[in-house]
Chain A
Amino acid sequence: MSAIDQMRQAVRASLEVRGLTKAYSSEVSVGPISFDVREGEFFSLLGPSGCGKTTTLRCIAGFERPTGGEILLGGARLDTVPAHRRDLGLVFQSHALFPHLTVAENVGFGLSVRKVEAAERRRRVADALALVGLADLGSRWPQQISGGQQQRVALARSLVLRPPLLLLDEPLSSLDLKLRQQMREELRRLQKQLGQTTVFVTHDQTEALAMSDRLAVLSGGRIEQIGTPEQIYRRPTTRFVAGFIGQANILDATIAVRGDDGVAGLRVAGPDGVVLRVRLGEGSGAVPPPGSAAAAVIRPEDVVLGDDGPDAENTFRAQVRDIEYLGEDTQVTLEAPGLPPLLASFKTTRTASARLAARGSGTLRVRIDAADIHLIPG
């Protein structure tokens, strides 16, 4: 059996967090937070600082005692086990390598605490270092290797113990951009290869969307939404998620008409607010009754510019207020009667730029597909 196969056996356990709360004072508290992580899943906790994601992670690791709720690992209570007996992997943002030990001694630390025999220890340390691509650096000191290498050593130090669950606390934030992207792919590849159940804490939405099987978006100590990256991006269920993940036009409105099959007319708030046609897709829930408040979420890339086809649904003429070239994408702020300022974006291709330039000082035709408008509670 190869080293990786051996590791695969140990590193799959499911995690359940049920009604976890942590009160710091009468004003500051986290929770209740509930989520499940399936065997072998890469699950992210995403949110701004102070949202409770780190507290949740520290409760799982055992460094914080929850005020209420329970945590189960593979169906067994975890929150009653002392931190040093939980046998979970944990990688810190600061790497937290022991500066007085060599790379190999760092990786072998957990094994030596468990009194694993020296020969076996050497073999497993070598396997773990090879796994993260640092087979030759065992005799170096942590200060002598780069930040990216330190990160891998920290990872190897956890993985060598074959933890049923790996916790990652913003492990990529201390690296520079290029390295971060590289480590992101590598971490994900390794996680899939091992089938390692992983909980990843981050404030970086790109990281969370790119790496996760599923993620939970947190705000103010609560979970806003749990879903796959696509669900979170395409079908946010709260205003916070819509605004936090990517960019979004969020238009306050009321339901004007309700038709069949998820079709509705939405009157945008404000004087002379236009009526937008909305067609909800499967899994987006039912349209609320007419008269109720709702908000429309429209991603900038779904606002189509310069569409010269026959009049279709949701078509306006708009003034261009502002153009921002972001390299790959171009972002345009539009103003149309009966609508608040609208953000649109498109790939900076030659034809798209030419179309934008061709408008001269006049207005531009803008279209939003009814299926690209998403409803959230107002």
Chain B
Amino acid sequence: MHGSSTALRVLATLVFAFLLAPLLVVVLVSFSPTPAFRIPTTEFSLDWYRKFFGMAQFRDGLFLVSLPVALASGSLATLLGTLAAVYLVRSGLASRAAMESFFMLPLLIPSILLGAALYLVAARMGVAGQAWTLVLGHTLLGVPYVIRVVGAGLVAIDPRLEEAAVNLGCTSRQAFLRVVLPLLKPAMFSGAIFAFIVSFSDVNLALFVAGPGTTTLPIHVFSQIFWEGDPTIAAASALQILVVGVLILTMQRLLKLRLSL
């Protein structure tokens, strides 16, 4: 028993190291003073961060494109995903399983294909490269996550609570608004964070759909790797890791909060 738990601990450590090592390298490189990607370094500098915030294309990519697009598509995906989840869970449709699989399609189709398809449609309609085309595309990617998380949250809510509300005088709509929705909030926030992260870190879809002026931060990093490649992209990546990391921690707290109820 003890032996196996030690072995398990070693294995878990290795897996963690495997997953985290690349991230760690990126973060370390972003703080190194030399332009070469070299670690370990003994010196510490914020030069690359200074350069990152000094370059308009990076700064704008982060603040004017990636964050607003992620916020917009995250919110939109949360709205649509929640509505879909409520319908799927509550309708009692015989075709529910099929409908659920249908809503999961954006997860199953390689996003590079989705990007190409979206580009073809957008180009034909003459709206390729516009910000809201990107928002719609990312919404598509986010919805399945929201449906999953909110659907699970909905199933976990005791149906007796709604009956109790109706018994106390609520119409079924009031019962939903006064009881179900407040209890669903943590799941909706978690879903929103998922959708935000999916949008914020997407490359494949943006590669096709983004145009001049709507180039997201990951696309900039991606093209920088081809053309220049100095540790500014490490700084950009480290910033992204920071944003995503904080969101994931927030989400975990939300989910734990819900479980403790």
A residues in contact (CB < 8 Å) with B = 61-63, 83-90, 92, 94, 96, 98-100, 109-110, 113-114, 143, 157-158, 161
> Smallest distance from the beta carbon of B28 to chain A beta carbons, Å?
44
* Known contacts A99-B183, A143-B260, A113 near B170 by CB under 8 Å: yes
Q: Interface digits, B183-225 against A, CB 8 Å rule (1 contact, 0 not)?
A: 1000000000000000000000000000000000000000000
Q: Is the CB of B164 within 8 A of A96?
A: yes
**If the complex has contacts A113-B174, A143-B260, A143-B261, are A98 and B161 also in contact, measured as CB distance less than 8 A?**
yes
Question: Is A96's CB under 8 angstroms from B169's CB?
Answer: no
Chain B contacts for A96, CB-based, 8 A: 158, 160-161, 163-164
A114 near B179 with CB under 8 A, answer no
Nearest Cβ distance between residue B80 and chain A, in whole angstroms?
24
CB-based nearest B residue for A163: B167
Residues of B within 8 A of A158 (CB): 167-168
The residues in B between 148 and 188 inclusive whose CB is less than 8 angstroms from any CB of A are: 158, 160-161, 163-172, 174, 178-179, 182-183
* Range class of the B interface residue count: 20 to 34
- CB-CB < 8 A to A87: which residues of B? 169
Q: How far is the CA of A158 from the CA of B163 in the complex (A)?
A: 13
* Whole-angstrom distance between the Cβ of A296 and the nearest chain B Cβ: 44
Residue of B166, B168, B183 touching A157 (CB-CB under 8 A)? B168
Contacts of B158 in A (CB 8 A): 94, 96
Report Cα–Cα, A87/B172, bound state, in Å.
15
Nearest CB of B to A163, in Å: 9
**Could you say which residues of chain A place their CB within 8 Å of the CB of B261?**
99, 143
Q: Is the CB of B160 within 8 A of A84?
A: no
Instruction: Please name 21 pairs of A and B residues whose Cβ atoms are closer than 8 Å in the assembled complex, sorted by A.
Output: A62-B166, A63-B163, A63-B166, A86-B167, A87-B169, A90-B164, A92-B164, A94-B158, A96-B158, A96-B160, A96-B161, A96-B164, A98-B161, A99-B261, A109-B168, A110-B169, A113-B165, A113-B168, A113-B178, A157-B168, A161-B169
Partner of A88, one of B161, B167, B172, B179: B167
Distance of A37 from chain B, by nearest CB (Å): 18
Contacting residues, chain A, for B172 (C-beta < 8 A): 84
B contact residues around A100 at 8 Å (CB): 179, 182-183
* Chain B residue at minimal CB-CB distance from A110: B168
| Least CB separation from A115: chain B residue | B169
Chain A residues whose CB sits within 8 angstroms of the CB of B171 once the complex forms: 84
Of A62, A92, A109, the residue contacting B160 (CB under 8 A) is A92
The CA-CA distance from A330 to B91 in the complex, in Å, is 56
| C-alpha gap A161/B88 in the complex (Å) | 35
Shortest CB-to-CB span from A5 to chain B, Å, is 24
CA distance A301 to B179 in the complex (A): 52
A84 contacts B169, C-beta separation under 8 Å: yes
Cβ B179 vs Cβ A98 within 8 A: yes
Residue of B nearest to A169 (CB): B160
Closest beta carbon of chain B to A162's beta carbon, Å = 13
Specify the chain B residue showing the minimal Cβ separation from A154: B164
> Which of B167, B178, B179, B183 sits near A83, CB closer than 8 Å?
B167
B166: chain A residues at CB < 8 Å are 62-63, 83-84
Please determine whether A109 and B260 come into contact, CB atoms closer than 8 angstroms. Answer: no
Using CB atoms, name the residue of chain A closest to B183: A100
* 6 closest cross-chain pairs (CB), A and B: A110-B168, A96-B160, A96-B164, A113-B169, A90-B167, A100-B182
Bound CA–CA A62/B171 (angstroms): 12
Distance (whole angstroms) from the CB of B257 to the closest CB of chain A: 11
Please report the C-alpha to C-alpha distance between residue A113 and residue B171 in the assembled complex, in whole angstroms.
10
Residue of A nearest to B157 (CB): A99
Known: A94-B158, A96-B158. A114 touches B169 (CB 8 A): yes
CB closest residue in chain B, given A88: B167
Q: In the complex the two chains form, what is the Cα distance from A86 to B166 in whole Å?
A: 10
Bound-state Cα–Cα, A310 to B220, Å: 110
Which residues of A have CB within 8 Å of B161? 96, 98
CB proximity of B254 to chain A, nearest CB, Å:
14
CB distance from A95 to the nearest CB of B (A): 9
B228, chain A: closest CB distance, angstroms = 52
How many Å lie between the Cα of A157 and that of B161 in the bound state? 13
Give the shortest distance, in Å, between A156 (CB) and chain B (any CB).
12
